[in-house]
Amino acid sequence: MSVCRAHQPLFLVMAALIVGGVAMGAAGCGGGGSAKGLIAFQTDRDGGYEIYVTHPDGVGYTNLTNNAAQDYTPSWSPDGSQIAFASDRDSTLKVYVMNADGTGQTAITNNPGDDYSPAWSPDGTKIAFLSTRDGNREIYVMNADGSGQTNISNSGFSEVGAGWSPDSARIAFVSDRDGGATEIYVMNADGSNPTRLTDNPASDWDPAWSPDGAKIAFVSDRDGATEVFVMDADGSEQVNLTNNEALDWSPAWSPDGSQIVFVSDRDSGGAEIYVMNADGSEQSRLTHNSADDLVPDWTAAEGGANR
């Protein structure tokens, strides 16, 4: 998987570091036929990275961004009407928002640092994102129109990711602030009361809160391979869902919480999008191409992808 590019966000840098070869695992062919909504994702199938959408059965693909720049990390608004993403089309990475059909692409951050990995709050009022504007990578939160940009992690350490709780009151994130490997933490949406959820010598990252708030999916290499895990929202009951020797990462929940979409290199050595039930059963491949398909995000909204 070739992921080394200028201004590449951290999740891609991390993917490049952990890729050590082609590993094989078991998965079904095709996707779950009854799932509803749309999955947005990042892909370089047209050369540079673009934001695409597809149906949860892996049928029908639409390129939304269509430009020569690199476009990354899509995040749906709660009502499915808009997508936040990052792009380097103006030399540095900025957070953009566009309509669900790709129209109205507008930058909502503008500063000399890199702004990327946006995550829309479930109540629709806020967008969390990563920024290097203060010299190291921190988590910021802004209003959905780009106003009120505030550093909420402000720790002096490098922070990664922002997974909102369903009530928009808390944010799960990744940090090495305790001096070891990266761990999953949770804090209030204003940055107060950071609490550590994982504690082991391995690296844990990619937290994603379930729609009912009971679970957090995440990624860990604690079992020797990069796997998707799930735990209770208080950090207890950490369970490996994917259980294979390939690389599995970037989990995102279906809107009803019954399934998890994720990325794996198990069948081809490249990054493809897969889906499984929330208990790890019925792991099925959705995308089939020689490019890298990354960072899926699932909305309940329908339409927008050609069938």
Distances (CA, A) of 227 to 53, 85, 191, 306: 25, 25, 28, 32
Residue 180 is predicted with a pLDDT of 83
Please check whether residue 146 lies inside any domain of the structure: yes
Q: Which residue has the tokens 């808009």?
A: 82
Please check whether residue 261 lies inside any domain of the structure: yes
Please check whether residue 28 lies inside any domain of the structure: no
Please check whether residue 230 lies inside any domain of the structure: yes
Please check whether residue 22 lies inside any domain of the structure: no
* 284-285 and 48-54 strand pairing: unpaired
What's the domain range around 159?
38-299
Please check whether residue 27 lies inside any domain of the structure: no
3-state SS, one letter per residue, for 282-302: CCEECCCCCCCEEEEEEECCC
pLDDT tens sequence for the chain (307 residues) = 333 233 334 444 333 333 222 222 223 333 334 468 999 999 999 999 999 999 999 889 999 999 999 999 999 999 999 999 999 998 899 999 999 999 999 999 999 999 999 999 999 999 999 999 988 899 999 999 999 999 999 888 889 889 999 999 999 999 999 888 999 999 999 999 999 999 999 999 999 999 999 999 999 999 999 999 999 999 999 999 999 999 999 999 999 999 999 999 999 778 999 999 999 999 999 999 999 999 999 999 875 565 4
Please check whether residue 33 lies inside any domain of the structure: no
Provide the token pair at 84: 């936040």
DSSP code of 40?
A: E
Contact 234/251 with Cβ under 8 angstroms?
no
Structural domain tally of the chain?
Answer: 1
CATH number at residue 104: 2.120.10.30
Number of other residues whose CB lies within 10 A of the CB of residue 120: 27
Residue 5 is predicted with a pLDDT of 30
Provide the token pair at 280: 């790890």
Please check whether residue 4 lies inside any domain of the structure: no
Question: What is residue 61's three-state secondary structure?
Answer: strand
Contact 195/161 with Cβ under 8 angstroms?
no
Instruction: Annotate 99-151 with DSSP letters as a single string.
Output: ETTS---EE---SSS-EEEEEE-TTSSEEEEEE-TTSS-EEEEEETTS-S-EE
Query: Residue 4: which of 301, 292, 303 has the closest Cα?
Result: 292
Contact 29/275 with Cβ under 8 angstroms?
no
Contact 98/83 with Cβ under 8 angstroms?
yes
Contact 164/119 with Cβ under 8 angstroms?
yes
